[in-house]
Amino acid sequence: MRYGAKHYSINQSINFILIYKLLGLGLLVVGILVKINALSSDVTPALDTIEVADYKLGELTNNLSVVFIVIGAFITVIAGLGVIGACCKVKWMLIVVIVWQSII
């Protein structure tokens, strides 16, 4: 059985999108872990003692966790559309992924 260039490019696209999805899931997990205070009780008070531009680092990490959750969820959804679009050959899903990738 011989695989053509078209088959190879679909597999390559799916692999790239899965790596993209893992990045989104990683951001999502890190954001959730910081938000639910999964950090050690020793780390949070230590971060509150450090100030950067009149912001306590503990408060800054708490606020950034929300940003990580939102960006991670968005990347995960877009990558999911890409995987489904590439596997099932759904054109509109692939267009959404291509537009998103061209923006960034």
Rounded mean pLDDT of the chain?
Answer: 81
Reported as a single tens digit per residue, the pLDDT across 19-47 is 888 999 999 998 898 888 776 667 777 77
Between 71 and 43, name the one with better pLDDT: 71
Percent of the chain clearing pLDDT 70 (strictly above): 86
90 has pLDDT over 80: yes
pLDDT grade for 50, boundaries at 50, 70 and 90: confident
Q: Where are the domains of the chain?
A: 5-103
How far apart (Å, rounded) are the C-alpha atoms in residues 25 and 29? 6
